[in-house]
Amino acid sequence: MANSGVSNWRRLLRAWDVATSAIPGFRTFLSSGWNFVLPPACVACGTELGPHSHAINSVCLLCLACRQEFTKIADKPSCLRCGAPVGPYVNSENGCQECSRDRFAFKNVYRLGLYDGVLRDAVLKGKYPGSEPLLMSMAQLIWEYHADSLQNENIGLIVPIPQHWWQRLRRQHHAPDVLAEAWGRCLQVPVGLPILSKRKWTRKQAHLSRADRKKNQLDVFRVHRPLRIAGKTILLVDDVLTTGATADSAARALKAAGAKKVVVVVMARVVGHH
C-alpha cells in the first residue's frame, strides 16, 4: 500500500509503452491527437506549451523558461564529491570548501542546480501527491545533462532514500521513489525499492545544525537482500542534498552490506545558508 502511487504510475507507463510500440508511428499519432484536443502545459509553471514546443512529444514537459532556470548552472563546474559549484580551475577530487572536512561513503554527486528560486519551488512541489509528471520531467532533464557520466558509472541497481514506515502510512507519495523509477527507465537498470529501509524515526534535518544532522542520521538505515547489491555500483536517489548526512548514512549501510560503490543523484544541492 505504501508504494501504490509509484506502482500505479509504473503500470501506466508500461501500458503506454506496450500500446504504442505495437504499430510504428502510433505513439506520435496519439500524442499529436491528444495535444490538439488538450494542449499540454508546463508542469512547473503552468504555461501552455505551443504546437512547436520541444516538449510536446517529450517526457520532459517543461517550458523553455523553466528549463533555462533549472539548468542555468547544470553544465558549470561542480565538486566531484558533493555537487557544490566550484571555480573552473579548482581541483575538487578531495572536496571543496563545502565538504573538505567530511568523509563521505559515497563517491560522486550528480545534480541539476542549486536549491534556490524556481528550482526550490519545483522541488517543494514535488513532495506532494500529483507531482509525478513534474518529477518525471525533472528526472529527464537531469538525464539530458548527465547521461554519459551516469552510464559510465556502470550502475547495477537504483535505490531511493526510504521513508520510515510511519511516514509512509501518513504520506504515500515519496519523491525519491518516482525519481528512481524515471532513472531506472533511462538507464535500463532495476530499481530496488525494498532494498533499503529506515529503521529509526528521526527528527527533520531542516531544523538541525550540521553536526546534529550527522548524529540524527547515524545508523538509521538497514539493508534487506544484501545479495542483490553485492559487488554492484548503486545509484542512490534523493530529491535534495544539503550536508550529505542522509546520503552518507545510507551509503555506509549499502557498502557495509557489500555494495562496490555508491553514487548519488539529486534534483538540487543546498549550499551556503539556504
∠ CA 52-58-62, rounded to 5°: 75
The answer to whether the beta carbons of residues 70 and 151 sit under 8 Å apart is no
| Adjacency order of strands within the sheet including 261-265 | 109-110, 261-265, 233-237, 155-160
pLDDT per residue, tens digit, the chain (274 aa), is 445 555 565 565 555 555 545 544 444 434 444 444 455 889 999 988 876 565 545 678 899 999 999 999 998 999 989 999 998 888 887 889 889 888 999 999 999 999 999 999 999 999 999 999 999 999 999 999 999 999 999 999 999 999 887 777 777 899 999 999 999 999 999 999 889 998 876 656 566 566 656 655 667 899 999 999 999 999 999 999 998 989 999 999 999 999 999 999 999 999 875 4
pLDDT digits (tens, 9 = 90+) for 235-246: 999 999 998 989
CA 34 to chain centre: 28
Which amino acid is present at 30? L
H or E segment at 70? helix 64-70
Which amino acid is present at 114? L
Q: Where do the domains of the chain lie, and which CATH numbers do they carry?
A: 74-269 (3.40.50)
The C-alpha cell of 103 is what? 568523509
| Adjacency order of strands within the sheet including 268-269 | 113-114, 268-269, 240-241
The answer to whether the beta carbons of residues 119 and 268 sit under 8 Å apart is yes
pLDDT digits (tens, 9 = 90+) for 184-234: 999 999 999 889 998 876 656 566 566 656 655 667 899 999 999 999 999
The answer to whether the beta carbons of residues 155 and 233 sit under 8 Å apart is yes
The C-alpha atoms of residue 250 and residue 162 are separated, in whole angstroms, by: 9
